[in-house]
A and B are shown apart, each in its own frame.
Chain A
Amino acid sequence: MNKDQIENKLATRFGSAVEILKTKFPEPCMYIVIDKYIEVCKFLRDDPELAFEFLFSLAGVHYPDRFEVVIHLSSSKHVHQLVAKVKLPLENPKIPTLSGVWEAANWYEREAAELFGIVFNGHPDPRPLLLYDDWNYGYPMRKGWTGPDFIPMPDKSKGADE
């Protein structure tokens, strides 16, 4: 299916639960309402016309006013891709786990939980993944993070770079 067909299909099926974003790229891009997150993802995986069987990546993003969990899906059967995003509040970001839909989400969610402090409810193995065992300095991928021995980059934005 091409971009328009996928967008139309999801818009008719889920109505206001998905918000299609306009981009110049061939992949459809959309926000999913957090309540329908798992339901939409299961539909994306199981619907024969969509058949997104491959979770390419799952990323956390820290914006000034929100967190986002961004998933990239691909289907080898129909050779199409999809970008789906979920908005989370800055305080207590919580989202259901995707690892029941795609097993690959397991480690991606552990990584996002550890680096961004996003809680994935119902995760089967919520241990930290990448940082060392005694890590006690918060969530390093958040914007403005500092820790011990942290030396910020000199701000060249008004100097040589411009």
Chain B
Amino acid sequence: MSDLIDNVPLTEEEFLLNMGPQHPSTHGVLRLVLKMRGEFIEDVIPHIGYLHRSIEKIAENRTYAQFMPYTDRIDYCASMPCNLAWALTVEKLAGIEAPPRAQYLRVIMTELNRIASHLIYLGVMSLDLGAFTPFLYAFREREMILDLFEMTCGQRLTYNYMRIGGVSRDIPPDFASKCREFTRIFRKRVDDYEAILTNNPIFLTRTKNIGILPIKVGLDYGASGPTIRGSGHNWDIRKAEPYSSYDKFDFKVPLGKNGDVWDRYIVRVQEMRESCNIVDQALDGLPEGDIKAKVPGVFKPPAGEVVMRIEAPRGEMGYYVVSDGTTKPYRVKIRTASFGNLQVLRYLSRGYKIADLVAIFGSLDVVLPEVDR
């Protein structure tokens, strides 16, 4: 810390301000050192690593199946996509294909988790901007999704639901009706959120034309997901490189126009609606059959290396796995969306005030355990 303060050259009018690691708006433990000139931010130096658990090293000491629960802990707001990415990576390496029913179940769970994750974004972001009601609303609806997950796999946060070659268990008999009830109710609830926020003058003042991200800059910094789609970049892995039968569903990719905080908000709200549509379609077309492909008990994928990516709620997430043909991976690199998205913060917040920094940071929807791994 001391070397940092010493190494930042300051003029007489500038000063350093420490924000975090326990600041409520940093959504976890992130420390930002702000170089200020009066009220305005000249530079932001993020300090990450407070939640570093070296999951990549742990992976080298676990078998492929044993690593699945650890993937839950990469992003605890969206565990299902982390599970799914790991399962798909290992399946790609070993040439396994999950049965159709398992693929549909994966889509249902992943999309429900996308809604749950965006609800956290919506609630926390509006809370940061001083609107308390959406926070309570969002967590009320998230509770319904967590109940659905609890019915299916017994867990509410770290699901450990996917398996290499399929999923761990089938949905219970009354899942489909409860899930349809949720999507029916939820569509109206999204209207409620929009009524509170979308055209609210206070919200508009705080978010319109704040933190504008040009597409070229965003790609250069490695931003992905709703962060880059808010700028109008039409790129979604579910459409571009469909995995897990996403090509069988009809859904739109919402895009923003200006790339400001409000655009990133509206993209996520529309994504929640699209996810509802996907869940409904998947329930309608849910095939009968096995939920897990036959995978040997002692699982040894062939030696080689593989990279696989999916569209997680926050953007592109994926694994790079080097296998040496034994039961354990030789090297696992985890690429998470927040890692790229957080890098853009420095670019986005220059010239704004601290209150705007809170809005910009909220709009990136960064989850810190995903950054630190």
Contact = CB atoms under 8 A, between A and B. Distances in A.
Do the two chains bind?
yes
A47 interface: no
A81 B316 CA distance: 13
Contacts of A61: 322, 330-331
A107 B240 contact: no
Interface string B313-328: 0001010101000110
B41 to A, nearest CB: 18
A56 B309 contact: yes
Interface string B189-227: 000000000000000000000000000100111101000
9 smallest beta-carbon distances between A and B, as pairs: A104-B222, A59-B333, A130-B49, A57-B335, A76-B235, A130-B52, A103-B220, A153-B61, A53-B219
B287 interface: no
Contact of A25 (B241, B306, B318, B343): B306
A158 to B, nearest CB: 12
Contact of B52 (A24, A70, A131, A153): A131
A104 to B, nearest CB: 3
B56 interface: yes
A53 B307 contact: no
B298 A79 contact: no
B372 interface: yes
15 contacts: A29-B305, A56-B309, A56-B316, A57-B318, A59-B331, A70-B305, A72-B320, A76-B219, A76-B235, A81-B307, A83-B305, A106-B343, A129-B48, A130-B373, A141-B56
Interface size class of B (residues with CB under 8 A): 35 or more
Contacts of B340: 104
B304 interface: yes
A122 interface: no
B320 A161 contact: no
Interface of B: 1, 4, 48-49, 52, 54, 56-57, 61, 63, 92, 95, 216, 219-222, 224, 233, 235, 240-241, 298, 304-307, 309, 316, 318, 320, 322, 326-327, 330-331, 333, 335, 339-340, 343, 372-373
Interface of A: 23-25, 27, 29, 53-57, 59, 61-62, 70, 72, 74, 76, 79, 81, 83, 102-104, 106-107, 127, 129-133, 140-141, 153, 157, 161-162
A59 B320 contact: yes
A144 to B, nearest CB: 11
Contacts of B240: 76, 79
Contacts of B298: 161-162
Given A70-B333, A79-B241, A161-B327, 13 more contacts: A23-B304, A24-B304, A53-B220, A57-B307, A57-B320, A70-B320, A72-B320, A103-B220, A106-B343, A132-B49, A140-B57, A141-B54, A162-B298
A133 B1 contact: yes
A147 to B, nearest CB: 11
Nearest to B316: A56
A25 B241 CA distance: 13
B93 to A, nearest CB: 9
Contact of A161 (B48, B63, B335, B339): B63
A59 B307 CA distance: 11
Given A107-B339, A129-B48, A57 B327 contact: no
Contacts of A25: 92, 306
Nearest to B297: A161
B217 to A, nearest CB: 8
Given A79-B241, A157-B326, A104 B49 contact: no
B233 A76 contact: yes
B333 A103 contact: no
Nearest to B54: A140
A153 B92 CA distance: 28
Contacts of B305: 23, 29, 70, 83
A65 B365 CA distance: 41
B328 to A, nearest CB: 8
Contact of A102 (B4, B222, B306, B335): B222
A61 B320 CA distance: 11
Contacts of B330: 61
A103 B235 contact: no
Contacts of A130: 48-49, 52, 372-373
A106 B340 CA distance: 10
